[in-house]
Structure formats: structure tokens, C-alpha cells
Amino acid sequence: MVEQKRGGKVLFVSSIAGLITGPYTGPYCASKHALEAFAEALHAELKPFGIQVGTINPGPYQTGFNDRMMETWKRWYDPQRHFTDHSGVRFPFEQYDPEEMIARMVELAEADEGPFRTLLPQAFVEVVKDEQAQAWQRRL
């Protein structure tokens, strides 16, 4: 595809976790942050060949993933060996109907052009931007 310069599109399904990080989510967020970096690099590298690259960053949609994530620690956590108390860990956000995100994914895949980053639900765009801004103000 690159050699023929015919164009194309690559859409990565990332997460809001690729843009912000919360307690006890470090490994998952690290994988999504890496995906974001890879997408940024490919966007710059493939643009001259007419290949569009973007990310789709779903927020808290009710797919079962978030619920499983909040339950898995119970399988390995041992208060005799681990130094943090997970007993109060709860998923911090309302979960939304995933149909909105699915429809947007299809729309982006079929569109001639679109934004580099698509974050939904819309209510989380400002949440993510605010969290990123607060990161610049954090103290050690």
C-alpha cells in the first residue's frame, strides 16, 4: 500500500486510559499510552503516502470490560503480602450505552476524513482535558 501511494486508513481503538491514568490502572494505561505514541508516530510517518491514522478513545461504556477490571484484583490480592488496601476500589464513572461509540466507529471507518482523535462520550472530552491540565500542576 505504501509503495503504491494509494492511501488508506488506520484507526486504533485506544481508550481514555491512553490519555489519563488513575489509581491501580498503571499497566493497562501504560499499554494504551504506548498505543497513543505509536499512532502519533504513524500519523506523521504515513501522511506523505496519503494514509490517514487516528485513534478512537472510548470512555466508560457498559461492555462488561470495566466491571471485570474492577473485580479481577480480588483474585490475586492478598492483604498479608500487598501494601495497599483495595477494599474501597470502585469504578469511578457512570457507564454509557456503547451503541453511540459503535456507530461513531463505523462512521469514522467509512468517512473520507476525520479527526486524529475521537473521544466519546462527549461529556468526557472536558474531563480528559481537565485531568491532563491538572497533571501539569501536580507536586511531588
Which residues have a catalytic role annotated?
28
Q: Supply the DSSP symbol for 83.
A: S
Q: How many CB atoms lie within 10 A of CB 82?
A: 11
CB 3 within 8 A of CB 50: no
Main-chain dihedrals φ then ψ at residue 110, nearest 5 degrees: -90, -15
- Give the separation between CA 6 and CA 104, rounded to whole angstroms: 25
Cis amide leading into 121 (omega within 30): yes
Are the C-beta atoms of residues 52 and 113 closer than 8 Å to each other? yes
